Amino acid sequence: MLSYFKAYRYFAIVFAIISMIIIAIIYNILDIEKPLPIYQPAQIDQELVDSTLFDVRKYHKIADFSLINQNGDTITQDDYKDKIYVADFFFTTCQTICPIMTDHMVKIQKETINDDDIKLLSHSVTPQIDTVAQLKRYALRKGVNDAKWNLVTGDKKQIYDLARKSYMAVKTFGNGDEYDMIHTENFMLIDKKKQIRGYYDGTDPEAIEQLLEDIKTLKREYKK
């Protein structure tokens, strides 16, 4: 009897291995695509998460906002309703990572220019310097398409709360007071439900290529 169960155990192991191989083959043949993750505060680097969100495990979304773009128009969440968008934080006088990030946003704009489902959103972290006129000059210099890409300024506290509590993009607390300053290379991919679906190093060309691929993956998700 003992030998019978021993033999059965070996059979079960072999059967399990064969089953996994078959499943892997079927998976590859059918080209089943794994969906992008939905990032929740409790699942990411806690240095990026405001302490009020540590225990949030579901339903996290980008908060509503009201900011002013390079044309002096009020931009709210309604302007991004039912859109996939890429968000970042920058300032026009930055001489370090921001020029690289902006050039990469220009690349994303170029690659998605004919896709009305995709938009871009860049928040100034020095709104006291980045007035509407300053943002417009910067937009013209960089070739920003107004219909696709908003550079926004406005209340500093609101922008910093977005960075820290909505996008979870910065490691500093970002309280938005007069002397506060945040700086992050993160790009965030946001889906049509205002959920974060990806983080990318905005200074890394390979990360930008991955972001473009993930945009395609996310678009296919909505076609299913």
pLDDT in tens, 130-162: 999 999 999 999 999 999 999 999 999 999 999
Per-residue confidence at 25, pLDDT binned at 50, 70, 90?
very low
Over residues 49-56, the mean pLDDT reads 84
Q: Answer whether residue 4 shows pLDDT above 50.
A: no
Q: Which of 32-41, 84-93, 198-207 has the lowest mean pLDDT?
A: 32-41
CA dist 4 and 108 (Å) reads: 63
Q: Which residues contact 206 (CB under 8 A, 6 or more apart)?
A: none
**Which residue type is seen at 218?**
L
Contact (Cβ atoms closer than 8 angstroms) between residue 105 and residue 215: no
What confidence score (pLDDT) does residue 33 get?
72
Per-residue confidence at 47, pLDDT binned at 50, 70, 90?
confident
Task: Give Dmax over CA atoms of the chain in angstroms.
Answer: 86
Q: According to the per-residue pLDDT averaged within each range, which of 29-38, 44-53, 93-102 is highest?
A: 93-102
What confidence score (pLDDT) does residue 45 get?
85
Over residues 59-67, the mean pLDDT reads 97
**Which among 124, 184, 177, 192 has a CA at the least distance from the CA of 154?**
124
What confidence score (pLDDT) does residue 24 get?
45
The CA-based dihedral angle spanning residues 187, 136, 64, 172, taken in that order and rounded to the nearest 10 degrees: 50
Per-residue confidence at 177, pLDDT binned at 50, 70, 90?
low
Per-residue confidence at 10, pLDDT binned at 50, 70, 90?
low
What confidence score (pLDDT) does residue 21 get?
59
CA dist 132 and 123 (Å) reads: 12
Q: Answer whether residue 190 shows pLDDT above 90.
A: yes
What confidence score (pLDDT) does residue 44 get?
85
Over residues 73-92, the mean pLDDT reads 98
Contact (Cβ atoms closer than 8 angstroms) between residue 90 and residue 185: no
**Which among 175, 172, 197 has a CA at the least distance from the CA of 184?**
172
Over residues 156-174, the mean pLDDT reads 89
pLDDT, mean over the chain: 88
DSSP string, the chain: -HHHHHHHHHHHHHHHHHHHHHHHHHHHHHTPPPPPP---GGGS-GGGS-GGGTT--S---PPP-EEE-TTS-EEEGGGGTT-EEEEEEE-TT--SSHHHHHHHHHHHHHHTTT-TTEEEEEEES-TTT--HHHHHHHHHHHT--TTTEEEEB--HHHHHHIIIIIS---SS-----TT------EEEEE-TTS-EEEEEETT-HHHHHHHHHHHHHHHHHHH-
Q: Which of 3-12, 83-92, 191-200 has the lowest mean pLDDT?
A: 3-12
What confidence score (pLDDT) does residue 19 get?
55
Per-residue confidence at 83, pLDDT binned at 50, 70, 90?
very high
Please tell me whether 104 is known to bind a ligand: no
* CATH code assigned to 41-223: 3.40.30.10
**Which among 58, 125, 115, 67 has a CA at the least distance from the CA of 91?**
125
Over residues 207-223, the mean pLDDT reads 96
Cα–Cα distances in angstroms (integers) from residue 213 to residues 35, 143, 198, 217, in the given order:
12, 23, 11, 6
